[in-house]
Structure 1
Amino acid sequence: MIYIKEFIYAFLSTLGFSIIFNIPKDSIVKSGITGALGWIIYIFVNNNYYSKVAGAFLGAIVVGMIGEIMARLFKKPATVYIIPGIVPLVPGAGMYYTMLSIIEKNFIEAANFGTETLFIAAAISSGVIISTTLNKTIFNFKKNRVGGR
């Protein structure tokens, strides 16, 4: 039940950012589903393996792969699906608590929040890069294999 609520919340937040980013109307719901699926992976990994960084990494890989697949299926740029899709994964709370700790002069806590936030951001970017590279490699392999026969 918790995953259904989380899916709906992530879908709505991704939908909202899709509208803000002026995504084409026929792709708004698809990008919402992409972001919601990435968030579900994040929540699953975080709840079962207690790792926000691994959850963000795997969630970003899922968003990147689905975004690339949808881009090919619907003849749109992959960024239409990937950019709004990673919005739920962005560690906004971590950035907020880092700044709050700095303002309160609690520098040890600020360093802890800041490093975790930095690792999550790096995991998101690495996941998107890996999924995009993997997808392009697979597509080029299939294209060369079919074209070479």
Structure 2
Amino acid sequence: MIFYIRNFFFAYIATIGFAILFNTPKSVLLKTGFGGAIGWGLYSYLNHITGNIVLATFIASFFIALIGEIFAITDRKPITVFIIPGIVPLVPGFGIYFTMLSILEQNYERAAQYGSEALLISIAIAGALTIVLSLNSYRKQLQQKSYKTPFK
């Protein structure tokens, strides 16, 4: 249990750090950190339970995007303010680094293993964000249709 609390805290701090780096407004830094920390906590829990990094990344990215969507609506800020710093802890930098290192060491089998895993993680992140952003677009279209009056 202490492992997950520690992960939550460090992910919170790291997400706020990236949010500051990306010039996120100061008024939303704490919410941005919360989204990233929830995503990382969910990722580490699901990865421990299922052992499937790609599935854990997809679900965590999905929830980061949902949380970002909620915060974007309540704070009237762009959704990217919340999503981009929140996703950064899930980016497969470790896998990309070891892919390049394996290529330099001419260990192509290991490079293919690390590279394919990093690619699948990246696709999982992109897929989860695409689903949530599509739902957001659909919600906005429904909202606009409901505001139209039948009189001209």
Describe how 1:53-72 pairs up with structure 2 within 5 A. 53-72=54-73
Q: Distance in 1 between matches of 2:46 and 2:144?
A: 34
Displacement of 1:146 in angstroms is 7.5
Q: Distance in 1 between matches of 2:45 and 2:147?
A: 38
Instruction: Give the equivalent residue in structure 1 for 2:126.
Output: 125
Matched residue of 2:114: which SS? helix
Query: Which structure 2 segments of 5+ residues have no match?
Result: none
Identify the range of structure 1 (131-140 vs 93-102) with the bigger mean alpha-carbon deviation.
Answer: 131-140
Instruction: Give the equivalent residue in structure 2 for 1:42.
Output: 43
Counterpart residue type for residue 52 of structure 1: I
Counterpart residue type for residue 29 of structure 1: L
Counterpart residue type for residue 90 of structure 1: V
Normalising by structure 2, we get a TM-score of 0.91
Matched residue of 1:105: which SS? coil
Identify the range of structure 1 (136-145 vs 71-80) with the bigger mean alpha-carbon deviation.
Answer: 136-145
The alignment covers a number of residue pairs equal to 149
Conserved in 2, the CA contact under 8 Å of 1:3 and 1:40? yes
Coordinate RMSD, CA, aligned: 1.7
Displacement of 1:11 in angstroms is 0.5
Q: Distance in 2 between matches of 1:55 and 1:39?
A: 10
Q: Percent identity?
A: 42
Matched residue of 1:23: which SS? coil
Normalising by structure 1, we get a TM-score of 0.93
Conserved in 2, the CA contact under 8 Å of 1:65 and 1:135? no
Query: Which structure 1 segments of 5+ residues have no match?
Result: none
Instruction: Give the equivalent residue in structure 2 for 1:137.
Output: 138
Deviating 4+ runs (over 3 angstroms): 138-148
